[in-house]
Amino acid sequence: MIIKMNNINKFFDKFQALKDINFSVKKGEIVVVCGPSGSGKSTLIRCINNLEAIDSGDIAIDDIDIYKSAKNLKSIKTKVGMVFQHFNLFPHLTILENITLAQKLVKKLSAKEAETVAMGLLDKVKLTEKKYSYPQDLSGGQKQRVAIARSLAMKPKILLFDEPTSALDPETIGDVLSVMKDLAKENYTIVCVTHEMGFAKEVADRIVFMDEGMIVEENSPQEFFDNPKSDRAKMFLSEIISH
């Protein structure tokens, strides 16, 4: 297993966001995490790369216990890439600079090496013509594709997506999902929090359904959509389908 989370508990003051979570992902597996708002989905994936510190339990990434030492914690920064709901691009940097910055600072690549990597990735997400633009000049969908390219520039083994299409206009969602579908064919390990059930059906190896800080159900997409086991999952799916 490339991700292993054992008995994870996470509190925000007195509110328990995660309750005794046991969650693991195989190398190359694509897992979609879904559930109602406030169910702990985003907190779960933010704990995987230590954007949120856990209160108890342990997490291993690529067989490295991330809380054992500061060195272990640092090592996951290059193993795990994260794509956020609201892009998190630097507004004062060009698109090219956004993608090359961490390569130079963290991976110590030369400016030329970093630019070569960045241009290859901009080609991959079909945005080479935007390399000298600034984030303010791009649509939401274009910004998200840049955010994906920036994440890929670090050559991570694991990609985490936190509701990558929820802040986008409907007409730009398809371009982002298309890039994500391509990535799914490239042997990345992907954990994606999303409400895009069509994407989940088409791409996921496994669906994990959460509610009230717990994993309620996990199954193959076909089983989850055709034969959900829990009443809570049945209700969630009926609400999504009715919209």
Q: What is the pLDDT of residue 71?
A: 79
Give percent of the chain above pLDDT 70.
99
Q: What is the pLDDT of residue 243?
A: 57
* DSSP one-letter string for 193-235: E-S-HHHHHHH-SEEEEEETTEEEEEE-HHHHHHS--SHHHHH
Q: What is the pLDDT of residue 70?
A: 77
Alpha helical stretches, state H, 84-230: 95-105, 111-124, 140-152, 170-184, 197-203, 221-226
Mean pLDDT of 98-123: 95
Phi, psi values for residue 152, rounded to 5°: -65, -25
pLDDT digits (tens, 9 = 90+) for 153-164: 999 999 999 999
Confidence of residue 242 (pLDDT cuts 50, 70, 90): low
pLDDT digits (tens, 9 = 90+) for 45-64: 999 988 999 999 999 999 98
CA angle (82 as vertex; 25, 134 as ends), nearest 5: 160
Q: What is the pLDDT of residue 229?
A: 93
Size of the chain in residues: 243
- Hey, what amino acid is at 106? V
Tell whether the model's pLDDT for residue 238 goes beyond 80: yes
* Angstrom distance (rounded) from CA 35 to CA 71: 34
* Angstrom distance (rounded) from CA 202 to CA 82: 22
Confidence of residue 68 (pLDDT cuts 50, 70, 90): confident
The residues, any chain, with a CB within 8 Å of residue 221's CB and separated by 6 or more, are 32, 200, 201, 204, 206, 207
8-state DSSP, 26? -
Phi, psi values for residue 189, rounded to 5°: -90, 125
Q: What is the pLDDT of residue 76?
A: 80
Give the relative orientation of helices 140-152 and 170-184 as an angle to the nearest 10 degrees.
20
Domains of the chain are 3-242 (3.40.50.300)
pTM: 0.93
Is residue 102 a contact partner of residue 152, using CB atoms and an 8 Å limit?
A: no
* DSSP one-letter string for 127-143: -GGGTT--GGGS-HHHH
Helix (H, G, I), strand (E, B), or coil: what is residue 74? helix
